[in-house]
A and B are shown apart, each in its own frame.
Chain A
Amino acid sequence: GESVGLHLPTLSVQEGDNSIINCAYSNSASDYFIWYKQESGKGPQFIIDIRSNMDKRQGQRVTVLLNKTVKHLSLQIAATQPGDSAVYFCAGIGYNAGNMLTFGGGTRLMVKP
């Protein structure tokens, strides 16, 4: 089955700097990749997604990059703010793989004021 993982368990950045969170996946069956933000005591919150046939997608202050050649996904957060402090997960979903989300282990982002 598909597995989705992360390189760095904890990332500490200065407020105002850009953050980059990475994720590696081992199976190419996903039709979408999704980044979620999870704050303490809350469920995962959708940030941005990208179709598997795209290599870049931009949102408000966030950009997701997908490199299918090396099976790598990244989330870039511009001008990181204290409110961005949370655990970030990437997840894949495949229409022919049961339509369930397969999550990685998460990266904790800590923003220093």
Chain B
Amino acid sequence: DAGVTQSPTHLIKTRGQQVTLRCSPKSGHDTVSWYQQALGQGPQFIFQYYEEEERQRGNFPDRFSGHQFPNYSSELNVNALLLGDSALYLCASSTIRGANYGYTFGSGTRLTVV
């Protein structure tokens, strides 16, 4: 049973560019959440998608947007990249029907903005 799959694993972009990160949730999960983890810090919640809609959003600017597809996979888009967007981006899947909304994390995409 595959867990959460994220692609690419590493990415280098130039300031001002746009980036798209991808996530395939664990089998049986219908909810995808995205987190940003700066070096040496805990993950920060970006947003959560369920039934192809953004359900919750953290304190991130509109430059951060996402999408969920009918097969539950998801994309995170970041426009007008800033140096401060350099971080590990984590995708976590879960199911609304779960007893405690148990999250499974992917290994993340390491984004470096130069």
Task: Say yes or no: A41 contacts B107, CB within 8 Å.
Answer: yes
Instruction: Please measure, in the bound complex, the distance between the C-alpha atom of A95 and the C-alpha atom of B100, giving whole angstroms.
Output: 9
Contact A100 B48, CB 8 Å, known A43-B106, A44-B105, A105-B42: yes
Task: Say yes or no: A93 contacts B42, CB within 8 Å.
Answer: no
CB-nearest residue of chain B to A41: B107
10 chain-A/chain-B pairs, Cβ below 8 angstroms: A43-B90, A43-B92, A43-B106, A43-B107, A44-B90, A44-B105, A45-B105, A98-B56, A105-B40, A106-B41
A interface residues (Cβ-Cβ under 8 A, vs B): 4, 31-32, 36, 41-46, 49, 51, 89, 91, 93, 95, 98-106
B interface residues (Cβ-Cβ under 8 A, vs A): 4, 33, 35, 40-45, 48, 55-56, 58, 90, 92, 100-108
Q: Which residues of A contact B106 (CB under 8 A)?
A: 43
Q: Which residues of B contact A43 (CB under 8 A)?
A: 4, 90, 92, 105-108
Q: Which residues of B contact A51 (CB under 8 A)?
A: 100
Instruction: Please measure, in the bound complex, the distance between the C-alpha atom of A2 and the C-alpha atom of B101, giving whole angstroms.
Output: 18
Contact A100 B45, CB 8 Å, known A32-B100, A93-B101: yes
CB-nearest residue of chain A to B43: A103
Number of A-B contacts (CB under 8 A): 59
Q: For the A-B complex with A51-B100, A91-B42 known, give 18 more contacts whose Cβ atoms are closer than 8 Å.
A: A32-B100, A42-B108, A43-B92, A43-B106, A43-B107, A44-B90, A45-B105, A93-B100, A95-B101, A98-B56, A99-B101, A100-B45, A100-B58, A101-B92, A101-B103, A102-B45, A103-B42, A103-B44
Q: Tell which of A31, A98, A100, A104 touches B42, judged by Cβ atoms closer than 8 Å.
A: A104
Task: Say yes or no: B105 contacts A89, CB within 8 Å.
Answer: no
Instruction: Please measure, in the bound complex, the distance between the C-alpha atom of A102 and the C-alpha atom of B100, giving whole angstroms.
Output: 15
Instruction: Please measure, in the bound complex, the distance between the C-alpha atom of A36 and the C-alpha atom of B103, giving whole angstroms.
Output: 10
Instruction: Please measure, in the bound complex, the distance between the C-alpha atom of A42 and the C-alpha atom of B92, giving whole angstroms.
Output: 12
CB-nearest residue of chain B to A4: B42
Instruction: Please measure, in the bound complex, the distance between the C-alpha atom of A30 and the C-alpha atom of B48, giving whole angstroms.
Output: 18
Task: Say yes or no: A101 contacts B43, CB within 8 Å.
Answer: yes
CB-nearest residue of chain A to B41: A105
